[in-house]
Chain A
Amino acid sequence: MSRLPSGLLIAVVMFSTAFMGCGTSTAVNDRAVPALITSPNSASVDELQAAIASLLNTDHVMIAQSAFTDTSVLSIEPAMHKDTNGRLLMGRSIVMPESVQLLIHGDTCLLEHAKSGQRKILQITTCRAE
């Protein structure tokens, strides 16, 4: 039973196309492979948060120290803002979460935004192939 794959593929293509041209593109090497963090610490978390914020063109991103330790892909969603009753403001969201992936090429760790393909080189964070 398969009712969706073509549609989803089209959507993914549309997302990818839509984001081309947003912001600057970093030169990339296609031989980079998915990676996991080897020594997560507060400095690497700070660097990753800043890199994700830059890729997603926002000011504030929060991730856990365990991010990228189990999987190279991290989904990023709007913070779960709540009303004064403790209930979500946006309880019915129709927006796809963003996705970033940790990559390694040689000894260099990179962070890639899935939709745009833009990458950020990481200076502090250490990683290994997934």
Chain B
Amino acid sequence: MQLLFRKAITPLLVAASLTVAGCSGGGSESASNNVTPPVTDTSSITWTKGQFTPYAEIALQCKADQTGSELTEKLWLRSWSNDTYLWYDEIFDRDPAPYTVAQYFDLLITDELSETGNVKDKFHFSMPTDEWEQLNQSGASFGYGFNLSLRNASAGVKRQVTITYSEPNSPAVAAGINRGAIIVAVDGVNVANADDSASIDTLNAGLFPTQSGKQTTFTVRDLNASVDRNVILSATTVISTPVQNTQVIQTASGKIGYLQFNSHIATAERGLFDAITTLSEADVEDLVLDLRYNGGGLLALASQLGYMIAGDTATNNRIFERTSFNDKYRTIDPVTRAILEPTPFIPETIGFNTGLLRAGITLPSLNLKRLYVLTTADTCSASEALMNSLRGIDIEVIQIGGTTCGKPYGFYPTPNCGTTYFSIQFKGVNDKGFGDYSDGFVPTTSPTLDSEIKGCALSDDLNHALGDTNERLLSAALFYRDNNQCPALTSSAAKVSAAPTMMDKGFMLKDDRNSTLLKNNRIMSTGAM
């Protein structure tokens, strides 16, 4: 018992340690450099191949305020990476002299490939610290309340913007804009045909507003409609509903639960609690968990949901996830210095928002032996951890949809000299020790690799509402349950398509609002969101 709760609070203790270190009182989850570095004569610091000054000793020695120089900033990055980067021994130790700070950071990364030949590290970022430290009400974002699928133009493919879902109580829903609607034009600029920078700017400004009250005229073709209509939407702060669409599907072979889980945010704890309670009381025999748009968030929520799916017996004394750092830190966290302990399946409420749900209540559970998961490339991070953790305790996961994003990694965002750096520092592994899914979880009828999961590779179906039993992925899950095989594909659109190979990046639609100055030289956008 003691061991169990010690494991369970590890994430919380990590949080406490981090925040106390900075005494910022804020919600920033950054590691801190708020230690007073020893007074160092920066003019004497030089690069010597293979020799690394402890990064704490050269932190916060910045060119801007003349406490340091570009060289000290680069050497800090080099030492920090050498100490904490997951693949530190695969970084080529270059003389920083020819490079800017940003250029040098981009080089402090492995050049190795994954086992399947893809880029090994796809997650290497930096951004201004003041931008990173923005805090929001849980689920708050700025816009109209619709979420978009962006298909940028490429050879033989027209640009298209389609609504994937709309948030309840949002301007989009008030205007009747729902899943499957195509945005034909924005402020008079045709989406498919825009071919100059000014037009693309108009599209991006309308789709991704930055000013409250900004009014934009959208020409919309609703799903199954034969004519367009114009709608004027006013941008505002929208609060997302992370758990939606809970329903019990009655089939000839039994009752099946369906649940749309879009984001691991604080308010989802109450949503998941209520949803699983509903499905438990309905005595469902299976669950179809729709994670197709869930990019992750609070890992503890994934652990709680794992408990709620598998139940007490299956999860007791089992590990949800174990965190693994580089081989310099086999037993302690290099940032917090806490002893590494595995995260269990959390069986109680944590009380992320005590106004919605207090802490310490036993979670409901479905006690299932298998789970159907609906996925796309937007299924990422904590969502993948949930899938992996359940497989780790022998819950059968059946995957319907697209390959997931492939992010078993995490980092402590670390600020230095006004920039916050994100460099992969740890990997999560399940109870069986597996965490190598950097190319994503791949649904297939005949799995051979551990990252391949039995199921059906299908593309998202924007022509049906989420939760509609005729929607391609949900329909396939129900079919698979009855027939133990995937449905026959009836159209090429149902197949998961490869990313376009050629795209004019000057004419791309993209939401840059939260990544205005984000540096990310490793990822080239595929145009899909």
Contacts and interface: CB of A to CB of B under 8 A. Distances in A.
Interface string B120-151: 00010101001111111110111000000010
Interface stretch (B3-11, B53-61, B99-107, B462-470): B3-11
Contacts, number: 271
Nearest to A91: B381
B378 interface: yes
B347 A77 contact: no
Contact of B125 (A6, A18, A22, A83): A83
A57 B26 contact: yes
Interface residues of B, number: 92
Interface stretch (B14-22, B195-203, B483-491): B14-22
B135 A73 contact: no
A83 B25 contact: no
B25 A19 contact: yes
Given A1-B347, A67-B137, A81-B514, A88 B29 contact: no
Given A84-B510, A93-B299, A73 B237 contact: no
Interface string A76-105: 111111111111111111111111010000
A62 interface: yes
A106 interface: no
A87 B518 CA distance: 13
B170 to A, nearest CB: 11
A63 interface: yes
A3 B4 contact: yes
Given A62-B140, A97-B352, A79 B239 contact: no
A110 B464 CA distance: 46
Interface in B365-416: 378, 380-383, 385, 405, 407, 410, 413
A77 B142 contact: no
B16 A14 contact: yes
Nearest to B405: A87
Interface in B313-344: 316, 344
A84 B20 CA distance: 32
Candidate in A76, A96, A113 with the most chain B CB atoms within 10 angstroms: A96
B267 interface: yes
Nearest to A97: B266
Q: How large is the interface on A (under 10, 10 to 19, 20 to 34, 35 or more residues)?
A: 35 or more
A64 B138 contact: no
Contacts of A27: none
A81 B266 contact: no
A94 B356 CA distance: 20
A93 to B, nearest CB: 5
B85 interface: no
A63 B237 contact: yes
A6 B123 CA distance: 37
A59 interface: yes
A75 interface: yes
Contacts of A56: 24-27, 135
Contact of B138 (A7, A75, A83): A75
Interface in B213-242: 236-239
Candidate in B12, B26, B134, B515 with the most chain A CB atoms within 10 angstroms: B26
B157 interface: no
A85 B6 contact: no
A91 B25 contact: no
A88 B381 contact: yes
A7 B297 contact: no
Contacts of B140: 62-64
A77 B8 contact: no
B69 interface: no
Contacts of A38: none
Interface string A48-69: 0000110111111111111100
Which 9 pairs show the lowest CB-CB distances between chains A and B?
Answer: A91-B381, A73-B355, A91-B296, A7-B5, A71-B355, A86-B529, A75-B266, A95-B29, A11-B12
Interface of A: 1-8, 10-12, 14-15, 18-19, 21-23, 52-53, 55-67, 71-99, 101, 113-116
Given A12-B359, A75-B266, A94-B29, 17 more contacts: A3-B347, A4-B360, A8-B359, A18-B19, A56-B27, A75-B353, A78-B133, A79-B135, A83-B523, A84-B523, A87-B380, A88-B381, A89-B422, A91-B381, A94-B15, A97-B298, A97-B353
20 contacts: A3-B344, A7-B5, A22-B24, A58-B27, A58-B135, A59-B130, A60-B130, A60-B135, A61-B134, A64-B140, A73-B354, A74-B138, A74-B355, A80-B297, A84-B523, A84-B525, A85-B523, A89-B123, A95-B19, A96-B352
